[in-house]
Structure 1
Amino acid sequence: MLDQLATVRYIRKGEHFLRVGKVARNAAFVLSGQFKYSFIGEDGNEKIVKFSFTDDFLTNCISFNNNKPSYLNITALEDAVILRFNIGKLQPLYDLHLSILHVNIRLYEEIMQQQSEHQYILSLKSPLERYRFLLRHRPAIIQKISLTNISRYLFTSREALSRARLMVAEEFSNQNTCG
């Protein structure tokens, strides 16, 4: 049944799944690739609030639930393949198939947890503390995402992030030579 509602879609690097100003009507599962959720801040610089990887869920729940234009772009960071479906067509199935509703609730919980984590990261005072948090809790971001995009996610400059990385590398080097 779900396969009748979903379509496989190929998205090129730099292509938008959702643009600022458009109302979210679709959601997707990432079959392969990486995405960023971003906006342009008052300072004119791009800010990234979330990354999505293979097996993650793509959508802007706020835009869909409130039927309002998105304040975020969702953009492919590399060529990607997604399984896209219209959210509105899925909702009537919740009454018929509680398992679909349970999956939806779990996805919302995961989205809320990721938002809460990002707010916590931004509450950390220094780029060094933010970078250390990523190393401990979200190593996939460090491994897969460019330094420029990590700095945009941490709401810091690329230079400050480079200094933080250097400090962590020096600490690691000192630990290995001392012990």
Structure 2
Amino acid sequence: MNQTLPAWYDRLMKKYPVVTTAEWLLLDSIATVKHIKKGDSFLRYGKVARYSAFVISGLFKFTIVDEEGNEKIVKFGFADDFLANCESYNKRAPSAISIVAMEDAVVLRINIKKLQPLYDLHMNLLHVNLQLYQELMEQQSEHQYILSLKTPLQRYKFLLERRPAIIQKISLTNIARYLYTSREALSRARLFLLDRTRNFCD
């Protein structure tokens, strides 16, 4: 790999092999590295989105606030994931979500206005953009499916089987906000599954 690119591009190149080193260098020329402290926002509710980013390190949550003022999580962002609110940018509309760091994080921030013209010149970048959009749609569809499950136990079991990274890296409180249930109900579901596993092993 070209040594003029920082080491974290190794992971992005493996994840998106269609993009050439020259194209990553082009992206790097319009990107900036930004450190975001735990609890700070990459994008605030009510602000128009102007930037997207790849997560170099750290965790993020995409949050909404319901009518009763309760925070709910619609998506998580892990290392190498993409942070954006395309709807807000495309419509020049205030963002309906906040994107907040769950721990100290580092992102590769890109001005969307500078990025979009590159899609006409570099089909590989357009391909990645379409891939990211498809991933977003699949994640939204999966979240809707999870919420269609009737009990906290069923929802937690789905994550345990299909999305273990969420179980391993996210606090129980934030998992409860993602599953739209109470922390107490989720704790009971987790204990039930742990007890059943122990009994099976016995």
Give the TM-score category using the shorter length: over 0.9
- Structure 2 residue runs without a partner (length 5+): 1-25
**Partner deviation per Cα, 1:27-64 (whole Å, 9 max, x = no partner):** 00000000000011112211000000001000112111
Deviates more, 1:61-70 or 1:26-35: 61-70
Match of residue 12 from structure 1: 37
Other structure's SS at 2:107 match: strand
TM-score by length of 1: 0.97
Give the one of 181, 190, 193 matched to 1:156. 181
Match of residue 99 from structure 1: 124
For 1:150, give the aligned amino acid: I
Give the one of 46, 59, 68 matched to 2:84. 59
Match of residue 170 from structure 1: 195
1:129 shift after superposition: 0.1
1:140 shift after superposition: 0.5
Match of residue 145 from structure 1: 170
Give the one of 101, 121, 133 matched to 2:158. 133
Give the distance between the partners of 2:127 and 2:79, measured in 1 at CA.
21
Match of residue 115 from structure 1: 140
Q: Does 1:87 align with 2:112?
A: yes
Give the distance between the partners of 1:175 and 1:81, measured in 2 at CA.
42
Other structure's SS at 1:43 match: coil
**Partner deviation per Cα, 1:120-154 (whole Å, 9 max, x = no partner):** 00000000000000000110000000110000000
Give the distance between the partners of 1:6 and 1:96, measured in 2 at CA.
18
Give the distance between the partners of 1:64 and 1:9, measured in 2 at CA.
20
Give the one of 54, 67, 70 matched to 1:45. 70
For 1:68, give the aligned amino acid: A
Other structure's SS at 1:70 match: coil
Give the distance between the partners of 1:144 and 1:132, measured in 2 at CA.
16
Q: Does 1:77 align with 2:93?
A: no
Other structure's SS at 1:68 match: coil
- Structure 1 residue runs without a partner (length 5+): none
